[in-house]
């Protein structure tokens, strides 16, 4: 089992956002941190929660709930952020909580259901059926491109 599995297995960092489980390719994840001293940015797109100083780098924090159009319920406990990079810029994806790292086989990944919320469908690379819940694979680049002017303009 181990031998043939290594070919299609991908590692994902899992995250809970608004009650839904998401997976981000581990190769894209730089670190996971607790956002502190967040500076709000006036006039920024709604999904931008603010900017903060992470070890001397300025990180733009993206509120994943807003970005994905998920319920903005109050989160219990400390929200977390997953640090990613795109085109040399540092971003933090604000999530409710971070979960374990899962190895999932690409072969078992299923396409998006046709009736998936378009905001989710746009960033989803497909769905994995786990025991008891579904995991949506998120394309980090599409999350960061959406809504911003960099791609839209």
> What residues line the site for other proteins (CB under 8 A)?
37, 39-45, 48, 51-53, 55-58, 60, 62, 87, 89-91, 144, 147-150, 153
Q: Residue 88 Cβ, how far from other proteins at the closest point, in Å?
A: 8
Q: Which is nearer to other proteins, 56 or 77 (CB)?
A: 56
Could you give the maximum distance between any two Cα atoms of the chain, in Å? Answer: 53
List 105's β-bridge partners, or say none.
Answer: 9
Q: Which is nearer to other proteins, 27 or 58 (CB)?
A: 58
Q: Which is nearer to other proteins, 19 or 69 (CB)?
A: 69
CA 150 and chain centroid, separation: 19
Q: Residue 60 Cβ, how far from other proteins at the closest point, in Å?
A: 4
Q: Residue 30 Cβ, how far from other proteins at the closest point, in Å?
A: 14
**Which among 141, 153, 137 has a CA at the least distance from the CA of 22?**
137
Q: Which is nearer to other proteins, 62 or 135 (CB)?
A: 62
Q: Residue 127 Cβ, how far from other proteins at the closest point, in Å?
A: 27
CA distance 14 to 136: 9
125's CB contacts (< 8 A; 6+ apart) are 109, 137, 138, 139
CA distance 37 to 51: 9
């Amino acid at each position: 089992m181990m031998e043939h599995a290594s070919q299609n297995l991908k590692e994902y960092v899992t995250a809970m956002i608004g009650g839904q489980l998401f997976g981000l390719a581990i190769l894209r994840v730089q670190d996971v941190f607790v956002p502190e001293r967040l500076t709000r940015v006036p006039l920024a797109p709604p999904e931008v929660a603010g900017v903060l100083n992470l070890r001397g780098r300025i990180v733009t924090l993206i509120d994943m709930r807003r970005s994905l159009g998920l319920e903005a319920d109050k989160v219990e406990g400390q929200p977390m952020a997953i640090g990613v990079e795109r085109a040399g810029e540092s971003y933090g994806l604000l999530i409710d909580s971070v979960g374990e790292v899962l190895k999932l086989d690409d072969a078992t990944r299923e396409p998006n259901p046709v009736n998936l919320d378009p905001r989710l469908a746009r960033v989803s690379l497909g769905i994995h059926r786990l025991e008891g819940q579904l995991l949506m694979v998120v394309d980090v680049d599409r999350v960061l491109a959406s809504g911003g002017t960099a791609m839209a303009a």
